[in-house]
Amino acid sequence: MEQTGEDLMERRSGVALWRQVADRIRLGISNGTLGEGGRLPPEITLSQQFGVNRHTVRAAISALVQEGVLRAEQGRGTFVESRKRLAYPITTRTRFSTGLKDQTRARRVNLLRHVVEPAPTRVAEALQLEPGAPVHRLETLSEADGRCVSRGTSWFDATRFPGFADVFVETGSITASFARFGVDDYVRRSTLVSARHADAEDLDTLKLSPGAIVLVTIAINDDLDGRPIQFSETHFSADLVELTIET
């Protein structure tokens, strides 16, 4: 019942102590207060800092090792597997591949699902269609250097872009697909950014662990006549990505 620090961890909060500790360690690494020189303090030190048992710290570290954030070496210590965030630029000419070209070797966009559906209200509004008009819904997973960067859902007017999904599968790129339909260029009209806890589908698709955060962007792209051609909601893994805005 000895307690050096305060009760830093919240009990009865619905989040297991070991997971709270794991999140704190992750945070400490990302803002540089922990893991000086790539080496984590010994388990005993951490358990005192967080006011929990050493077993609990071990459970946290074990989870982070599993996740690839840490690497534990018996007798030597626990080390940080460093990796910096990708900077994803948001401009009038936002495109997935070109934006990350300088920072990554390999980029790929996979089509997870495709359906034609009646436009939900917010989609119809954004695309300036009648509510219920047929639209393509494409769910995609974007990878860069083998890491799952983002999960996106995009809607396109099915009347204007018949068979869009097939073209996308063939080209592997939104930009190239638009070109096939005579849209040689398009611009980002607006972007809404928010952040939340990853939901079950985020966890599954982006291979995140519970408690992880996603950056959510909701965007509208226009053709050069100012007509909306794409409405999309994208979930970025917040650990992997930051957004840059040049105004």
Partner DNA sequence: ATAAATTTGTCCGTATGTATT
Partner DNA sequence: GAATACATACGGACAAATTTA
Give contact residues for its own copies (rule: CB under 8 A).
Answer: 1, 8-10, 13-16, 18-20, 22-24, 26-27, 30-32, 59, 63, 85, 87, 90-92, 94, 113, 122, 187-197, 199-200, 203, 209-211, 213-215, 238, 241-247
Nearer to its own copies, 142 or 221 (CB): 221
> DSSP secondary structure string, 44-68?
HHHHHHHTS-HHHHHHHHHHHHHHT
| CB-facing half-sphere around the CA of 61: CA atoms within 13 A | 22
Q: Is residue 231 part of the contact set for DNA (CB under 7 A)?
A: no
Residue 113 in the binding site for DNA (CB under 7 A): no
Q: Which residues contact 58 (CB under 8 A, 6 or more apart)?
A: 43
CB closer to its own copies, 144 vs 241: 241
The amino acid at residue 176 is A
Among DNA, its own copies, none, residue 58 binds (CB under 5-8 Å by kind) = DNA
Verify binding: residue 44, DNA, rule CB under 7 A: yes
User: Tokens 């995009």 identify what position?
Assistant: 154
Restricting to residues 138-167, which ones interact with DNA according to CB under 7 A?
none
Packing angle of the helix pair 17-30, 43-50 (nearest 10 deg): 110
Q: How many CB atoms lie within 10 A of CB 53?
A: 12
The reply on whether position 37 binds DNA by CB under 7 A is: no
CB-CB contact of 218 with 191 (8 Å): yes
- Report if residue 2 touches DNA, rule: CB under 7 A: yes
Subset of 170-189 contacting DNA (CB under 7 A): none
Task: State which residue, 7 or 166, has the beta carbon closest to DNA.
Answer: 7
Contacts of 112-116 with CB under 8 Å at 24 or more apart are 112/139, 112/140, 112/141, 112/151, 112/205, 113/137, 113/138, 113/139, 114/138, 114/139, 114/165, 116/158
Q: How far is the CB of 200 from DNA (least distance, A)?
A: 14
Give the Cβ contact number of residue 166 at 10 Å. 12
Residue among 65 and 77 whose Cβ is closer to its own copies = 65
Which of the choices DNA, its own copies, none does residue 40 contact, using the CB cut-off of 5 to 8 A by kind? DNA
With CB under 5 to 8 Å by kind, the binding choice for 73 among its own copies, DNA, none is DNA
Q: Does the protein bind DNA through residue 4 (CB under 7 A)?
A: no
Contacting residue, 5, 8, 11, 199, with DNA by CB under 7 A: 11
The item of DNA, its own copies, none sharing an interface with residue 122, based on CB under 5 to 8 Å by kind, is its own copies
Under 8 Å between Cβ of 54 and 78:
no
